[in-house]
Amino acid sequence: MGRYALRRLLMLVPTLVGMSVLIFLMLRLLPGDVVDLVAGADPSSGSAAREQLREAMGLADPIPVQYLRWLGGIIQGDPGTSIRSGQPVGELLLRSLPITVELAVLATLIATLVAIPLGVLSAVKRDTGWDFAARVGGLIGLSLPSFWIATLALLFTSKVFGWVPPTRYVSPFADPAGNLRQMILPAFALAVQLMAIEMRLTRTTMLEVLNQDYIRTARAKGLRERPVVYRHALRNALIPVVTVVGFQLGALMGTSAIVEVIFGLNGVGYTLLQAIFNRDYPLVQAATLYLATIFVLINLAVDIGYAFLDPRIEQA
Amino acid sequence: MGTSTRSADDPQGQTRAQAPTHPRAEAEAPAQASTQAEVEGPTGSTAPAQDRPRPLALGRAGRPARPWWKPSARWKNPIGLVGAAIVALTILVAVAAPLLAPYDPDAQDADRLLPPSGAHLMGTDELGRDTFSRIVFGARVSLQVGIVAVAIALLAGTALGIAAGFFGGRLDAWLMRGVDILFAFPGLVLAIVIAGLLGASRTNAMIAIGVVYAPAFARVIRGSVLAVMSEPYVDAGRVVGATNGRLVRRHVLPNIVAPVIVMTSVYLSSAILSEAALSFLGLGTQPPEPSWGGMLNLARTYMELAPWMAIFPGLAIMLVVLGFNFLGDGLRDVLDPRLRTS
């Protein structure tokens, strides 16, 4: 077990390095010159001034040198300075991270609380009206764009209650009720697709587990249906669901960008989008790397957790 | 209660669980093959559904076997058929857009922000353009982006997957390492960054979505190729001197078609959603071209005055994506019972 975790941890290093190289190259090789952006359309800035600027920004060095300097900065906790605002990128991201994390966690909670009971119900009542409704509902949920749900939710609250959630982030530690009022709508919009995914998966794995010999044994020894379903079946069926929930939690960190934009929440995704529109390269680089790193770390945690839950994995 | 009935049928369930390890045995047991077993029977000797007698099927145990001229039960798939109908309708609307749209989608009119009426089925937008006409023409954008993006992913993924699976060894290891790194990014983040850096346009959105989906195709195709490579007919082909090209064309490609078709349908739905998301963020199709995501984005500004602007484009996205999801679900049931998720 410990060896498996260690091996996975070591495999993380080449992945992270590969990701950082890819992000760095994408930003260097794609069209557009950073110097043009900084110097602006100001025609008075001659080519000499531009070269000076290029030199000062370290863009005159060979690309590998630039990469190593950037990587070194990140390892020392300094991923650069925003071209647009002049603020340290690390600070900007650290400020927006809690919003995105809270949104993703809250959405996962909402989705799981609704989806797992529905999935179990659908599997236990297989091929009934309940099951059909849950299956069709699941496919509809998969097809609902989160940005549409978010837009409609805003429309609904403003029309019916004459109220829209405030955009200035309220910390859950300072004002839990205010924070929840603010986050519940965006979290719900984010949760719908995940809900559908979890529900469909719970249904499938429950159906599989209910076919296992040990379920028949449990029934044969005269156990009532309830403990068979909840203690014997559900516990085993949830193992793959937990993994998928973990992966999706990581993915939500990215998808939440759209919902953050709609609700005006200053999360990491929102910051990334602003940076892209402003061509604020240091910020784009760092925000992408942060989001991807969180995604990879969550996936690693899920994999290791899965091996703990299901000892058969270790041999693989 | 499905499950409590089932325990009463246990003796029968057990005999069936033991007997049909041979696929033929299952197909020839006429009584049980009536409904469920038919879906799983021919291919699914490993499928768990074998010893899962449905109470319904057992209730009609005496029903005669299906005559050969009737379509197999697995083709009677209501969800898949509804999906196919929605997809066909969407294609029709996209192709016949100029005939169906009552107005020019870009024609501006003095009648701004009109609610839905007989003259304007879905109302008008902030420039007096007819929302219905824009939605009809938006179908073209959605389908075009979806198809081109998935085609990019399919071509790149097939090339990478076959190269990795067929040649194996170090090439496989390196290619899959690269695929893993692309996989390490949350999909939408990568699409946003690529589309944003290339410059916001429809073409770049297609490229971005295609690049993001390619690794998924590469992985699935590699897995299928590996499965095919262990079949005896590949060795047989080698023995009689078939070239690599011939092996790939005659043996590998035809046998990986089923999973690829299912995957294409499912990814078409995601690609359409992603295009809408990118256009919504201003990174995809640019105004004044009518795209559903872009229309939704505009609608946010005028939502209070003209809620229909926010409702209809979203409905259109949902319906088309739902069509492809239904179709994918149905195709999965028909083409690949082992992958059944429902």
Is B296 in contact with B313 (CB distance < 8 Å)? yes
Q: How many Å lie between the alpha carbon of A189 and the closest alpha carbon of chain B?
A: 14
Q: What's the whole-number mean pLDDT along residues A284-288?
A: 91
How far apart are alpha carbons A109 and B324 in whole angstroms? 28
Which stretches of B96-130 are DSSP H helices? 97-100
Contact A32 B197 (CB under 8 A): yes
pLDDT (0 to 100) of residue A271: 93
* Tokens at A199, concatenated: 């529900």
**B209 pLDDT tier (thresholds 50, 70, 90):** very high
Split at pLDDT 50, 70, 90, the class of A45 is: low
Size of interface A-B (CB pairs under 8 A): 174
Buried b (16+ CB within 10 A) or exposed e, A285-310: bbbbbbbbbbbbebbbebbbeebeee
**Given this model, what pLDDT does residue A39 score?**
64
Confidence grade of residue B12 (pLDDT, cut at 50, 70, 90)? very low
Least confident among B37-51, B130-144, B180-194: B37-51
Residues of chain A contacting residue B184, judged by C-beta atoms under 8 Å apart: 15, 18-19, 292, 295-296, 299
- The pLDDT-based confidence of B316 (bands split at 50, 70, 90) is very high
Query: Angle, nearest 10°, between helix axes A146-160 and B292-302?
Result: 20
Kindly report the backbone phi and psi dihedral angles of residue A88, in degrees, each rounded to the nearest multiple of 5, phi listed first. -65, 130
> Taking CA A308 as the corner, what is the angle to CA A304 and CA A312, rounded to the nearest 5 degrees?
100
Q: What is the DSSP secondary structure assignment for residue A81, as one 8-state letter? A: B
Cβ contacts (< 8 Å) between A207 and chain B: which residues?
Answer: 48, 52
Q: What's the pLDDT tens digit per position in A142-162?
A: 999 999 999 999 888 888 888
* Selected residue of B51, B192, B304 to mutate for chain A interface (largest A Cβ count, 10 A): B192
CA B214 from centroid of its chain's CA atoms: 15
CATH superfamily of A89-315: MetI-like (1.10.3720.10)
User: In this predicted model, which residue has the larger pLDDT, B84 or B78?
Assistant: B84
pLDDT per position as a tens digit, A231-279: 888 888 888 888 888 888 888 887 899 999 999 899 999 999 999 888 8
- Residues B299, B123 contacting (CB under 8 angstroms): no
* 3-state SS assignment for residue B196: helix
- State the DSSP string of B254-271: HHTHHHHHHHHHHHHHHH
- Inform me whether the C-beta atom of residue A261 falls under 8 Å from chain B C-beta atoms: yes
Asked if residue A314 lies in contact with residue A1, where contact means CB atoms within 8 angstroms, the answer is yes
Range scoring the smallest mean pLDDT among A277-286, B3-12, B117-126, B320-329: B3-12
Residue numbers in B near A19 (CB within 8 A): 181, 184-185
Length of chain A in terms of residues written: 316
Q: Averaged over A41-47, what is the pLDDT?
A: 61
Higher pLDDT, A43 or B160: B160
Q: Which amino acid is at A42?
A: D
Closest-approach residue (CA) in chain A for B324 = A143
d(CA B40, CA B22): 13
Examine residue B278 and state whether it is found in any structural domain, yes or no.
yes
Q: What's the rounded Cα separation, in Å, for the pair A97 and A75?
A: 18
CA angle B170, B175, B176 (to 5 degrees): 100
Binned at pLDDT 50, 70 and 90, residue B93 comes out as very high
> Could A292 and B325 be called an inter-chain contact, meaning their C-beta atoms sit closer than 8 Å?
no
CA angle (A77, A78, A84) in 5-degree steps: 145
| Number of domains, chain B | 1
Q: How confident is the model at residue B20 (pLDDT cuts 50, 70, 90)?
A: very low
Question: How far is it, in rounded angstroms, from Cα B300 to Cα B279?
Answer: 13
- The residue whose two tokens read 């879906």 is B39
CB atoms within 10 A of CB B171: 12
Reading the block at residue B200, the tokens are: 């916001």
A139 vs B7: CB contact, 8 Å cut-off? no
Q: Are B278 and B201 in contact (CB under 8 A)?
A: no
Name A88's bridge partners. Answer: A81
Alpha carbon B297 to its chain's center: 26
Residue A200, token pair as written in the block: 């469909």
Percent of chain B with pLDDT over 70: 76
With CA atoms as reference, the chain B residue closest to A13 would be: B181
Name every residue whose Cβ is closer than 8 Å to that of residue A266 and which is 6 or more positions away in sequence: A95, A96, A99, A167, A169, A260
Contacts (Cβ under 8 Å, ≥6 apart) of B254: none
Task: Please tell me the distance in Å from A2's CA to the nearest CA on chain B.
Answer: 23
Contacts of A8 (CB under 8 A, 6+ apart): A300, A303, A304
Query: Residue A250: which of B186, B314, B325 has the nearest Cβ?
Result: B186
In a domain, B189, yes or no: yes
Per-residue model confidence (pLDDT) at position B40: 34
Residue B28's pLDDT band, with cuts at 50, 70 and 90, is very low
On the question of a cis peptide bond just before residue A117, with omega within 30 degrees of 0, the verdict is no
What is the predicted pLDDT for the residue at B7? 36
For the cut 50, the answer to whether the pLDDT of residue B68 exceeds it is: yes
* B332-341 per-position pLDDT tens digit: 878 765 544 4
Q: State residue A259's pLDDT score.
A: 93
DSSP strands (E only) in chain A: none
Q: How confident is the model at residue A37 (pLDDT cuts 50, 70, 90)?
A: low
B187: containing domain = 122-339
Domain ranges of chain A: 89-315
d(CA B111, CA B131): 12
Q: Which residues is A81 bridged to in the sheet?
A: A88
Assess whether pLDDT exceeds 60 at residue B81. yes
Question: Between chains, do B276 and A145 touch, taking CB under 8 Å as contact?
Answer: yes
Angle at A262 between CA A256 and CA A264, to 5 degrees: 90
Cα B321 from Cα B266, distance rounded (Å): 9
Structure tokens at B231: 């079949």
Which of A148, A257, A284 lies closest to B317 in CB terms? A148
Write down the mean pLDDT value for chain A.
85
Strand partners, B124: B130
CA–CA dist A216, B118 (Å, integer): 62
* Residue A253 φ then ψ, to 5°: -55, -30
Sign of CA dihedral A58, A61, A64, A65: negative
**3-class SS of residue A175:** coil
DSSP A104-147: HHHHHHHHHHHHHHHHHHHHHTTTSHHHHHHHHHHHHHHHS-HH
pLDDT tops 80 at residue A89: yes
Give the amino acid at B220: V
- A41: CB partners within 8 A, 6+ apart: none
- Under DSSP, the state recorded for B229 is H
Q: Report if residue B205 sits inside a domain.
A: yes
How far apart (Å, rounded) are the C-alpha atoms in residues B262 and B106? 37
Pick B57 or A311 by higher pLDDT.
A311
Largest CA distance in chain A: 89
Query: How high is the pLDDT of residue B73?
Result: 64
Mean pLDDT for the stretch of residues A179-208: 91
> Any residues with CB less than 8 A from the CB of A199 and at least 6 apart, and which?
A114, A115, A116, A118, A119, A122, A134, A137, A138, A141
CATH number at residue B193: 1.10.3720.10
Q: Which of B1, B3, B186 faces A253 most closely, judged by CB atoms?
A: B186
Assigned token pair, A97 = 């991270």
Nearest to A276 among B181, B187, B192 (CB): B192
Residue B49 has a pLDDT of 40
Token code pair at residue A40:
């602006």
Interchain CB distance below 8 Å, B51 and A211? yes
Q: Give the global pTM.
A: 0.81
Q: How far is CA B186 from CA A165, A228, A315, in A?
A: 27, 38, 28
- CA dist A139 and A152 (Å) reads 20
Distance of CA A204 to the CA centre of its chain: 24
| pLDDT above 90: percentage of residues in chain A | 30
Q: Which of A229-233, B65-69, B325-329 has the highest mean pLDDT?
A: B325-329
- The answer to whether B62 touches B34, Cβ cutoff 8 Å, is no
Residue B37 lies in a domain: no
